[in-house]
Copies of this chain bind each other. A is one copy, B any other.
């Protein structure tokens, strides 16, 4: 198997200035694997849901080439549920409800056909669960990437540091990078964090794009300027899924290819925020993606003349 993802498969209820939803399907694992499916078929997902989770969603995942053998379905239990309300600027949100449900005692099962995957993506989850997945692989993947959030820095820092030390790529946002490194300058933060283990650091800056750090190299990918951001939920997961899906599909971990992978992730994230939840990700075609990636080229490309 080329890529394995561990991450929540869940229900979200979202309110934005543009409208609100009932319970819809969300979760980091869902966004990551759907996003990665634009680039490759041979992937699996590890997660847990309750018996209230729609089988149609699992069937849909399979049509996208996602092996769901790693999703445990807990009879008599309920799926993880998150509800949130975005502020008018869409840059901040309040969590209204968090019901951990099946996630509370999540003991990840790594099916045998997943255990020799080339690439492993650890979606935002308890660092202990993330580490268990690494330990339950039969062989060490070529590249392990990890997402996390400030919540785990607050309540499980020791655990988190241990997991971080085991991965190749850490993907976090600017505030999280500052909290983790205790440095305000992202250039300084990138050095402190890479000294914790990951050779490669990606700092997401939302509407301000993303930075990729490796050795002395820095690459900056802009976010596409959009007229409206309809729903930012899952944008970071979509970005991570596009990044790892692109890397896994091309089987190339060079810095040059990681640049392309970040643009791919940014392009998918720019679609994801156009509608609620995963809706937009289920609509777009390969042609849509090629067009949008071309927009990123146009947005940033310039030819510099040597000065006189």
Contacts and interface: CB of A to CB of B under 8 A. Distances in A.
Q: What secondary structure prevails in chain A residues at the interface with B?
A: mixed
Nearest to A88: B184
A222 B225 contact: no
A158 interface: no
A304 B299 contact: no
A176 to B, nearest CB: 16
A172 interface: no
A92 interface: no
A228 B185 contact: yes
A22 interface: no
Interface string A283-308: 00010011001101111111111111
A218 B208 contact: no
A263 B187 contact: no
Given A293-B304, A303-B260, A225 B218 contact: yes
A260 B304 contact: yes
B220 A225 contact: yes
A225 B187 contact: yes
B225 A186 contact: yes
A307 B294 contact: no
A227 B188 contact: yes
Nearest to A219: B299
Nearest to A40: B308
A39 interface: yes
Interface of A: 39, 88-89, 184-188, 205, 208-209, 211, 217-222, 225-229, 249, 256, 259-260, 263, 286, 289-290, 293-294, 296-308
27 contacts: A88-B184, A188-B227, A209-B209, A209-B222, A211-B225, A217-B298, A218-B225, A218-B299, A219-B299, A219-B300, A220-B222, A220-B225, A220-B300, A221-B302, A222-B222, A256-B302, A256-B303, A259-B302, A260-B302, A260-B305, A290-B307, A293-B304, A293-B307, A294-B304, A296-B304, A297-B302, A300-B300
